[in-house]
Amino acid sequence: MEKTIIAATGRRKTSVAQVRLVQNGEGKITVNSKAPEAYFGNNPRLKHVIVSPFDLTKDQKFDCTAKVTGGGLSSQAGAIRHGIARAIASLGDSFHLSMKKAGYLTRDPRMVERKKPGQPKARKRFQFSKR
């Protein structure tokens, strides 16, 4: 079987993930040269976020290598999922349709709101004093 390498970039908040998939692999996943369990600790929800695009690929197996920077662990997991979904979607229309239907190809646009001058935080105001 021929092994093809697919690369894609995923983003979420300030995290950027560079993902490389090897088609016809064994299903190994590495995040910054570590296993997902070692990188994300004992949080099974984050590992499930990463693996969720692979659940839609039926019987196809991929080896995944991800380099991720910026943000926290949750946004890094979201960026990896976005990159994996983009890479799988580039393989064909049937994959693209299933990823789009699951909502994995949409880049989450939510970012941290900036702090405004004259306020302690983005939306918090200083205490009002009538007298």
CATH number of the domain encompassing residue 48: 3.30.230.10
Average pLDDT estimate for 61-65: 93
117 within a domain of the structure (yes/no)? no
Average pLDDT estimate for 62-83: 96
11 within a domain of the structure (yes/no)? yes
Rounded to 5°, the CA angle 17-85-93 comes to: 145
127 within a domain of the structure (yes/no)? no
29 within a domain of the structure (yes/no)? yes
Which pTM value belongs to this model?
0.91
Average pLDDT estimate for 89-114: 94
Q: What total of structural domains would you count in the chain? A: 1
124 within a domain of the structure (yes/no)? no
57 within a domain of the structure (yes/no)? yes
How many angstroms separate the first and last alpha carbons of the chain? Answer: 79
Structure confidence at residue 3 as a pLDDT band (50, 70, 90): confident
67 within a domain of the structure (yes/no)? yes
Domain membership of residue 75 as a residue range: 5-102
Q: In what order do the strands lie in the sheet with 5-12?
A: 5-12, 15-23, 62-69, 29-31
66 within a domain of the structure (yes/no)? yes
| CA distances from residue 4 to 29, 64, 87, 100 in whole angstroms, order as listed | 16, 12, 12, 22
pLDDT at 112: 95
